Structure 1
Amino acid sequence: MAAEPQNRDTAKAIEAIRDARPPTTDRFTYLTIVEANLCPEVLPTLNEVLQSPELTQEIGWDLVFNLVSLPGSEECLETVARLGNPREVILKVLEALELLNGENQDDEEDDEQRKPDLPVSPTHKFITLLGMLAILHRRIKTKYPSRFLAQTLQTVYRTYRPNQEMTASVLNLVHSLSGQRRPPLPSRKSSVNVANPDQTGDTSKNAPDPEADRDDREDPDETELEQKLLLSFATCILEAYANGNELAWAARLLEFYNPEKIVPGRRTLMAAFREEQELLSRDSIVGKLVALIGDLGLDSFSKTFIHQLCDGPMHSEPLEEPDLSSPDKIALSTGGCVCLVAYWVFSSTVFDAGYPRPVFHVFPEHFAVLDKFLQDDAHAQIQKSTGTIEALIGIGLWLQFNNLLSANPTSPLTNPTTSPEDPTSDFMRYIHLTTLIALYHPAIQVRNAASVLAGLVLHSDPEDDDRLKILEDLLENCMFATLKARAVAWLREELLAAAAASTTASSSSSQKSNNLFSTPQALEAVQYSVFPPLTSLLDLPTLDLVEYLTANVPFIMQAVNFALFLFGSKTATAGEGKGEGENKWKQVLPGNMEATVRERWLEPLREVVVRVEREGKSGELGGEGIEMGPLEGELGLCRRLGSEK
């Protein structure tokens, strides 16, 4: 019985919408009646009424905003797109898209508890409106359709959020507007499909453009201009999607290149992206975006493309430029192009895909692009463009593992910014940039990949004195304990590489290696940075010591391990037991280094750690609840090192 009044009201609403049609009422009155009676139940009747092209051209554009917020209104909106005045309806669709910006932000902040006054999600509205735009743009007949297209692409990009459904909708729109209609791909569990009325609907129902230009046909230059606008837009979307979705290109490349370093029993990222629905969808969507960019003409490494990427200005929002009147004035998204290159090299490596091989090297091309992105406020750029920055690291790893260090093998320092008075500047600057990523990127896998890349480039520097200067600079001037720890690890790797080279040289010839890392000179240069005097710490309050140790844990742990490596490696001789004999690294140790390091660094460090441990466990630190954590590891290492006498 309770449903009867509601049914009666619905019947009255349907009757009003059907019977009040012009000429019974004028246009404005009828529009008011429709808006007053809009509800999901009247939509079939309204769609019947809107089949009149004359009426829909009069009122259709005014219905867009109210209809798009009403569940089940898709058919009505498609009718408005097919029969309404396309120029007026486009303007209303773009206004509705602009209004989605606030809704999108609310949706992101509270996705699981959508506001009750938003019965239709922003994503669903976006998909519906883009479906309308695909129909509307194909209906407009004008000499300069690019003017409508530029405004549409700008608005769509401002409203776009990088989720799967919105991205699939953008793909549909660009395919429709470009005339590139790919055959449907085989169904996959990773596919994301959204409605596309331009391709599935009946185009014969489209009304002609009532304001079509009748004096001339479309300008012949418009086709190229529209294609360039769409290409620029597609590169912007690719960058936005990469920045909004973790794609793990660099981390997966590391797994591919170093399978021996994968921890047994732990699921790899490669496996996760093969097995998880969400991750499968990400790879699928990116593949479709890259294919779309190829359809629009960017499918190879031309000299122009490389020049613009490496030497051209940065373009973060190319569609917002004031002059888009000719193809040569329309730029591509710089970050989008970086993501495109990263996908090409990643897919060619991991999936054996047939994408073009970059005509790129670490120096000068990759260095130039890296410097372009990070030269101004690196921290902000890394936080803002996480996916693009990972793409840069992925490209760098690919270049390193393919031995593409330099375009000029005789002199890798080919960047024009290199100063003849400072021949280390390119390598040092490159390593500085990659270590900034290792510090500031929010994803630990990317930080690790950036650190690996920095180490690879450091070891690739052909000049040992350059490598030593870079390590000195990091150890003396870097304020971050994690990077100083990496520098100590790289120093150890240099000593091992030099020792191996010396062994090879001595077995093949009588000449000894002149590598600085096979002599005491290297450790002489850095020993006070790796093992600084710590006696002053003994006078500090224990809480200050806790703060010091906590802030410097990575560096101290690495230094302790390095000390064990240097002073705990003995070469046993006949009649001597394990741990006895001559120090294995005697030839690279400066005179009396072991004794002085123990006195100025090890003994104070041991005393500091023991005091912190004792007072922390006894409660003498004022109930601060000190968590020993890695400090326990330091203590154990210090004790072990202290016993190696």
Structure 2
Amino acid sequence: MASNVSVDPAKAIEAIREARTTDKFTYLTIIEANLLPEVLPTLNEVLQDAELTQEIGWDLVHNLVGLPGSEACLETIARLGNPREVIIKVLETFELFEQDGYEADSEDGEDSATVSTTQKSILLLGMLAILHKRIKTKYPSRFLAQTLQTVYSAYRPNQELTAAIINLVHSLSGERRPPLPSRKSSINVANLGVEGNASKNAPDPEADREDREDPTESELQQKLLLSFATCILEAYVNGTNMAWAPRLLEFFSPERILPGKKTFMGAFREDQKLLARDAIVGKLVALISDLGLTSPSKSFIDDILKGPLQVAPFSDPPSDPSEISLPTGGAVILLTYWIFSSTIFDASHKSPDIHIFSEHFELLDKFLQDDAQARIQKTPGTIEAIIAIGLWLHFSNLLGFEFSELNKEQDPQTSDFMRYTHLATLVALFHPNLPVRNAASTLAGLVFHSDPSDEDRLKILYDLLENCGFATLKARAVAWLKEELISATSGDNPSLFSTTQALETLQYVVFPNLDFLGEDSEGNGGGKKEIVEFLSGNLQFLLQALNFGLFLWGGQKLGEYVPDNMDAAVRERWYEPLVRAVEAVEKEEGLPTEIGFLRGRLVDLGEKIGAEEEY
């Protein structure tokens, strides 16, 4: 609320003092008309009248929360006002925040003349810590469920607000941990309820004097708070880049790090903002532990894998603790943190009893089987957490199967590996964060190569190259084929990839016939627009295929693995039509700059496969 600069502060103070004898509605109107920062000490004195505050206090919340220096008045209203009415007004104010959203965290000091939405929210959370302890009723969980749902709906991830929510939950659960300080000194969360003197509180004027609290209430409230804390963990991670998957990949495969490149591991050790992210997530997990969830039990894993996808399951006031479940995404993130912190920070969390096949496969399928693109983009933190779990499982050698001729019925089927690879590559395709896309692509490749059946691996490559509509994934499949050939030529174990059969099967999908680039639908010369669209849309795949061609015919000792006359066939059906297509459009304006790389690679490959004319 903006200050009423047209009102003289001295006259405003006088008006508030002298109008106390008027009726409550008139007095409330006078207060609102004279509400300035300068009158707040006087107003707080007036509000010490508990009877008056019970009458008008709740109506002042919305205006006071936007006024700098209003903390003392809001605390008085929380302690002396009618707690049920004040809670209603606090939640209504949160609902307005939900409509407006929260400002992003700022490292600069706030303008002293304004109060940000985050600061307002922290004040209101402090009020709720006081108010809920004051309500005396048989079923306090009904009030708590409504509060948690409203706060969750209005929550926008930032560190200061998250710290205030952690303090609130600690306070309501009866925990005695020291409160997290607010990052901005102008707002002290602890002053509003977390460490306050409960003897200052007025009794609940509407208390159920004859009914004691229901025996199930303690467990109900504890489970509500646990579910809520897990929802906040999920929301925070989905709104904050934690880089769990890239950091795990650096940890397990340091040889992949380019010399001189700044690492994610290093950044999260040195950057104070990134360190604070880890700290907030650690505090949320510690809070969840205080609420009773400390390790990945079998029932915890089963709920994630077998149960329905739960989102904010505390929306309706429950009547029994069994009705309250954890949000599935939050449970996955919690599991990932246990794994990640044990691996990176040497924390002493118990390892979950899961494997790539079948638990992680089921997890990927559960989250991505319906509208994978929308799910990945809506919950990027949850999906990254799943990829991080997969990386840990692979590098921990927890594949979940042991291949043998005598035990084939216990091995994953070809379709399992194919489906797993497909799901992981969807993350590599649609995740908004490039390092996570790279981590997902790496995981897909690692699991693909771990398939003990060379026939299966060949089928998966053929399926991707023949049926996949995304150039990036087809390029990835060509890279995997190259890796398979390198492994076959350097190992002692014979496989289909150490014979000509692999390339005989795949050459027509790696180097398909491109004669259509020179024809339209009636067999005439193709249009330049269509050629540009094809080259632009398939550039990554074409470049990877060119690089693969250079690998096959660039001096490597692969003669025994390459079918006879394959170079001539590739030249005729693939290379020459591609050269003509590039020549037809290379002088066009507005071409993607990457087509220049394509041109250079074609020149190199032409020298290797005996092209008659130099391009």
TM-score, scaled relative to structure 1? 0.87
**Where do 1:246-645 residues align within 5 Å?**
246-320=241-315, 322=316, 324-406=318-400, 423-501=413-491, 504-505=492-493, 513=494, 515-538=495-518, 539-570=525-556, 584-613=557-586, 616=587, 621=588, 624-627=589-592, 629-644=593-608, 645=610
CA distance 1:430–1:412, change in 2 (3 Å): farther
Query: SS in structure 2 opposite 1:339?
Result: helix
Alpha-carbon RMSD: 2.8
Offset of residue 301 of structure 1:
1.5
How many Å apart are 1:626 and its aligned residue?
Answer: 3.0
Residues 492 and 193 (structure 1 numbering): CA distance in 2 closer, same or farther, change over 3 Å? farther
Q: Deviations over 1:154-176 (max 9, x none)?
A: 00001110011111111011010
Return closer, same or farther for 1:6/1:548 CA change in 2, 3 Å cut-off: closer
Determine whether 1:127 maps to 2:122: yes
Which residue does 1:230 correspond to in 2?
225
Counterpart amino acid of 2:545?
A: A
Pair 1:446–1:180, CA change in 2 (3 A): same
Distance 2:23 2:426 in 1: 67
Residue of structure 1 equivalent to 2:613: none
| One-letter amino acid matched to 1:404 | L
Give 1:400 shift: 0.7
Per-residue CA shift, 1:120-172, capped at 9, x if unaligned? Answer: 22111111100000011111122211111101000000111001111111101
1:10 aligns with 2:5: no
CA distance in 1, matches of 2:252, 2:207: 58
Name structure 1 gaps, 5 residues minimum.
506-512, 571-583
8 Å Cα contact 1:85/1:209 also seen in 2: yes
Q: Give the Å deviation of 1:471.
A: 0.7
Distance 1:412 1:565 in 2: 35
Contact 1:168 / 1:193 at 8 angstroms: preserved in 2? no
Provide the C-alpha distance between the structure 1 equivalents of 2:533 and 2:272, rounded to a whole number of angstroms. 44
Q: Distance in 1 between matches of 2:555 and 2:184?
A: 53
Deviation at 1:303, TM superposition (A): 1.4
Letter in 2 for 1:547: E
Is this contact kept in 2: 1:139–1:209, CA < 8 A?
yes
Give 2:538's aligned amino acid. N
Which of 59, 65, 69 in structure 2 is aligned with 1:68? Answer: 65
Q: Deviations over 1:343-385 (max 9, x none)?
A: 1111111111112211111111111111111111111111100
Distance 1:323 1:49, change over 3 A: closer
1:595–1:43 distance in 2 versus 1, CA, 3 Å = same
In 2, Cα distance between equivalents of 1:344 and 1:517: 39
Is 1:156 matched with 2:151? yes
Helix, strand or coil at the partner of 1:181: coil
1:403-431 Cα offsets, whole Å, 9 max, x none, are 1111677779879xx8xxxx322111111
Cα deviation for residue 559 of structure 1 reads 0.6
Tell me the secondary structure at the aligned position of residue 352 of structure 2: coil
Question: Residue 407 and residue 134 in structure 1: after superposition, are their counterparts in 2 closer, same or farther (change >3 A)?
Answer: farther
SS of equivalent to 1:307: helix
Of 396-405 and 542-551, more deviation after overlay is shown by 542-551
CA distance in 1, matches of 2:533, 2:458: 31
CA distance, structure 1, for counterparts of residue 302 and residue 410 of structure 2? 15
Q: 1:86 aligned to 2:59?
A: no
Q: Which residues in structure 2 correspond to 1:192-211 (within 5 Å)? A: 195-196=189-190, 197-211=192-206
1:610 is displaced (CA, Å) by: 4.0
Secondary structure, aligned partner of 1:403: coil
Q: CA deviation at 1:190?
A: 13
Shift of residue 329 of structure 1? 0.8
- 1:189 and 1:277 in contact (8 A); partners too: no
Contact 1:530–1:559 at 8 Å: present in 2 too? yes
% identity of equivalent residues = 63
Distance across 2 between alignment mates of 1:184 and 1:200: 8
Q: Cα offset for 1:596?
A: 1.1
Question: Which residue identity lines up with residue 566 of structure 1 in the other structure?
Answer: L
The number of residues matched between the two structures is: 596
Tell me the amino acid that sits aligned with residue 223 of structure 2: K
| Cα offset, 1:280, TM superposition | 1.4
- Whether the 8 Å contact between 2:182 and 2:189 is mirrored in structure 1 is no
Q: Which moved more, 1:147-156 or 1:360-369?
A: 360-369
Q: Deviations over 1:95-121 (max 9, x none)?
A: 11111112216x46x9999xx9x9322
Distance 1:133 1:59 in 2: 18
Q: Which amino acid aligns with 1:602?
A: Y
Q: Which amino acid aligns with 1:147?
A: R
Indicate if the aligned counterparts of 2:164 and 2:182 stay in contact, CA closer than 8 A. Answer: no
The alignment's TM-score, normalised by the length of structure 2, stands at: 0.91
Are 2:238 and 2:381, in contact at CA under 8 Å, matched by a contact in 1? yes
What's the CA shift for 1:396? Answer: 0.6
AA in 1 matched with 2:397: N
| Cα 1:600–1:37 shift into 2, 3 Å | same
Deviation at 1:189, TM superposition (A): 10
The separation in 1 between residues aligned to 2:480 and 2:490, in whole angstroms, is 15
Which residue, 167, 170, 182 being the options, matches 1:172? Answer: 167
In 2, Cα distance between equivalents of 1:301 and 1:96: 38
- Higher mean displacement: 200-209 or 81-90: 200-209
Task: Give distance in 2, aligned partners of 1:301 and 1:279.
Answer: 26
Instruction: Confirm or deny: 8 A CA contact 2:53 2:81 kept in the other structure.
Output: yes
Q: Is the 8 A contact 1:165 1:194 kept in 2?
A: no
Higher mean displacement: 51-60 or 286-295: 51-60
Say if 1:81 and 1:135, in contact at 8 Å, map to a contact too: yes
Q: Is the 8 A contact 2:7 2:34 kept in 1?
A: no
Match of 1:50 among 42, 47, 52: 47
Q: Distance in 2 between matches of 1:90 and 1:251?
A: 43
- Farther-moved stretch of structure 1 (269-278 vs 283-292): 269-278
Separation (CA, whole Å) in 2 of partners of 1:302 and 1:7: 63
Cα distance change on mapping 1:527 and 1:595 into 2, 3 Å = same
Give the secondary structure class of the aligned counterpart of 1:363.
helix
What is the distance in 1 between the residues matched to 2:390 and 2:415?
18
Matches of 1:319 and 1:220, distance apart in 2: 19
Q: Paired residue for 2:521?
A: none
- Cα distance, 1:586 vs. partner? 2.1
Cα 1:6–1:286 shift into 2, 3 Å: closer
TM-superposed deviation, 1:7:
10
Report how far residue 6 of structure 1 moved.
7.7
Q: Show CA shifts across 1:468-498 (max 9, x none).
A: 1111110000111110000000011111222
- CA change 1:408–1:238 in 2 (3 A) is farther
Kept after mapping to 2: 8 A contact 1:168/1:194: no
Q: Which moved further from structure 2: 306-315 or 340-349?
A: 340-349
Q: Note the alpha carbon deviations across 1:545-602, whole angstroms, 9 max, x for none.
A: 33222211111111111111112234xxxxxxxxxxxxx2222222321221122212
Distance 1:256 1:389, change over 3 A: same
Q: Is the 8 A contact 1:234 1:293 kept in 2?
A: yes
Instruction: Measure how far apart 1:328 and its partner are.
Output: 1.1
Would you say the 8 A contact 2:160–2:183 is kept in 1? no
Is there any run of 5+ residues in structure 2 with no aligned partner, and where?
519-524, 611-615
